[in-house]
């Protein structure tokens, strides 16, 4: 856990949907593990074992209707919805894959550093 306070002012319903989609996907499609890390930068990482993926599949994870698991009645919308909601909140999402570990990083805008002028 970070030693300093991390402040973000976000839409609670949208953030809840993003976090729910990411946790649901990780638990549903991982090899049974999930690690969630909050970095000093405020980034949130979702890390799990996901054997059988390749770099081409990882690059498509946030595309609408893209799914690796066609037989599981997957729609391919969960991660695309997460990406879309994060962008609406001026955040971003990315994925990296190495040594059978998938790391999805969400980056949220640092609202504590913004100043408002009237």
* pLDDT tens figures, 14-35: 999 999 999 988 888 788 788 9
Q: How far is CA 71 from the centre of its chain?
A: 23
Q: Quick one: average pLDDT of 49-67?
A: 80
pLDDT at residue 114, as a whole number: 52
Q: Quick one: average pLDDT of 31-57?
A: 87
Architecture category of domain 12-107 in CATH = 2-Layer Sandwich (3.30)
SS3 99: coil
Q: What's the CA gap between 97 and 101, in Å, rounded?
A: 6
Q: Which residue has the higher pLDDT, 23 or 59?
A: 23
pTM for this prediction:
0.80
Torsion of CA 35, 44, 69, 65, to 10 degrees: 170
pLDDT at residue 3, as a whole number: 74
Q: Are 46 and 26 in contact (CB under 8 A)?
A: yes
Question: Where are the domains positioned within the chain?
Answer: 12-107
pLDDT at residue 47, as a whole number: 93
Q: Quick one: average pLDDT of 62-80?
A: 73
Residue with the two structure tokens 């989609």: 21
Q: How many other CB atoms are there within 10 angstroms of residue 65's CB atom?
A: 9
């Amino acid at each position: 856990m970070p030693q300093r306070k991390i402040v973000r002012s976000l839409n609670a319903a949208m953030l809840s949907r993003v976090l729910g989609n990411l946790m649901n996907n990780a638990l549903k499609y991982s090899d049974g593990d999930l690690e969630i890390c909050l970095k000093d930068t405020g980034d949130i990482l979702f890390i799990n074992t996901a054997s059988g993926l390749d770099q081409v599949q990882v690059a498509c994870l946030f595309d609408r209707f893209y799914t690796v698991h066609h037989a599981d009645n997957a729609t391919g919308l969960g991660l695309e919805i997460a990406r879309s909601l994060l962008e609406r909140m001026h955040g971003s999402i990315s994925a990296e894959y190495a040594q059978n570990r998938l790391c999805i990083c969400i980056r949220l805008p640092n609202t504590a550093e913004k100043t408002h002028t009237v």
